[in-house]
Amino acid sequence: MSRSLHIVVPAPRAGTTVVPAVTTNRRRLRRRLSRSAFAYLLVVPAAAFYVVFVLQPIVLTGQYSLYDWDGIKPATWSGLANYARVFTDPTLLDAILNSFELIIYFSIIPVVLGLFAANVIRGIATSRLAGIARTVLFLPQVIPLVAAGIIWSWQLSTNGLVNQLLSLLGLGGITRAWLGDLGTALPAVGVIGAWVQLGLCLILLLAGMTKIDPTLYEAARIDGAGAFREFVSITLPGLRQEIAVCVIVTVISALASFDIIYISTQGGPGNSTLVPGLQIYRLAFFDREIGTASALAMVLMVLVLVVVLPLQRILRGRDA
């Protein structure tokens, strides 16, 4: 280690070298080029995958969105008509609004609960309970979403666990088929999402907490700060990056949600849980309206970027 340190010579500043400058510069350039060529070579496989499986589909979707196409017959050019439909069809607009409502359940609740749980677990870090709590809360992340959707649709059915518990508590009057009621289906789906996302937020936040300097807490305690003050003044600012990641990842999962809804309600009843992801799938593969589906997909992509980019700015601060 120490030897290699000696070999490193600071690069001469431009203009300070004299005679052999031209040859050494050329040689250095060649070396730099070959080194960067090698670097590019290493990037090629990943870049090729990215181009073929990410960029090309995006470009194709953009192209399809300008056509009226059933996926079979030759397409006809329709300009921006598909986009006009996305912004005027109340069903499609409602789907977008539903996905915004899901942000409450997929993002806000898990982040808030995650902060609370992580703080509690940090407080009892040495006890065995902390490990158990961590495992239990992270478990939903390990379970496939499809399985989670099925489990919860049983629990939320008329004679499922949720209604049994409510009846035990004397709340038999409010029991219902939670996923089959126009008013409760979206929140019920949201609960499934919150349950899944909580584990992700918890683990990220716990990891972030280990990186906060413990002496800060000691100093705060000496200054007479209580648990709440510690949380607000040390933990929260220290977790800024992790909270940002949590919020961004979960907001994307809310706006682009598909699997949980596909398994639990399929957008029903009465379109009350319809989201853009599901509608794109239906339009493309069942209604064979590839153009409208593609336009909605492009709008969804832009929508996610429009929501997430400013969030990233705000949450991660200028250093991002």
The residues that touch other proteins, with contacts defined as CB under 8 A, are 51-52, 55-56, 59-60, 63-64, 67-77, 91, 153, 157-158, 176-182, 265-271, 282, 285-290
> Where are the alpha helices (H) located in the chain, listed in sequence order?
2-7, 21-50, 56-64, 81-88, 90-103, 109-123, 128-142, 145-155, 161-168, 185-210, 214-222, 227-230, 236-238, 240-255, 259-264, 276-285, 290-316
Q: What three-state secondary structure class fits 273?
A: coil
75 vs 143 by CB, closer to other proteins? 75
> Closest separation between CB of residue 300 and other proteins, Å?
18
244 vs 290 by CB, closer to other proteins? 290
> Closest separation between CB of residue 244 and other proteins, Å?
20
The angle at the Cα of 89, spanning 83 to 94, to the nearest 5 degrees, equals: 110
205 vs 293 by CB, closer to other proteins? 293
Contact 246, 200 (CB under 8 A): yes
Pseudo-torsion of CA 45, 51, 54, 56, nearest 10°? -150
Q: How far is CA 4 from CA 1, 9, 11, 263, in A?
A: 5, 10, 16, 58
The angle at the Cα of 254, spanning 184 to 100, to the nearest 5 degrees, equals: 65
Work out the burial of residue 172: count CB atoms within 10 Å of its CB; fewer than 13 is exposed, 13-18 middle, 19 or more buried.
exposed
114 vs 193 by CB, closer to other proteins? 193
Candidates 195, 184, 204; CA nearest to 272 is 184
> Closest separation between CB of residue 287 and other proteins, Å?
4
> Closest separation between CB of residue 137 and other proteins, Å?
28
> Closest separation between CB of residue 176 and other proteins, Å?
8
Tokens of 151: 């489990």
Residue 67, phi then psi, degrees to nearest 5: -120, 160
> Closest separation between CB of residue 55 and other proteins, Å?
5
> Closest separation between CB of residue 162 and other proteins, Å?
13
Tokens of 31: 């070396």
240 vs 282 by CB, closer to other proteins? 282
40 vs 116 by CB, closer to other proteins? 40
2 vs 76 by CB, closer to other proteins? 76
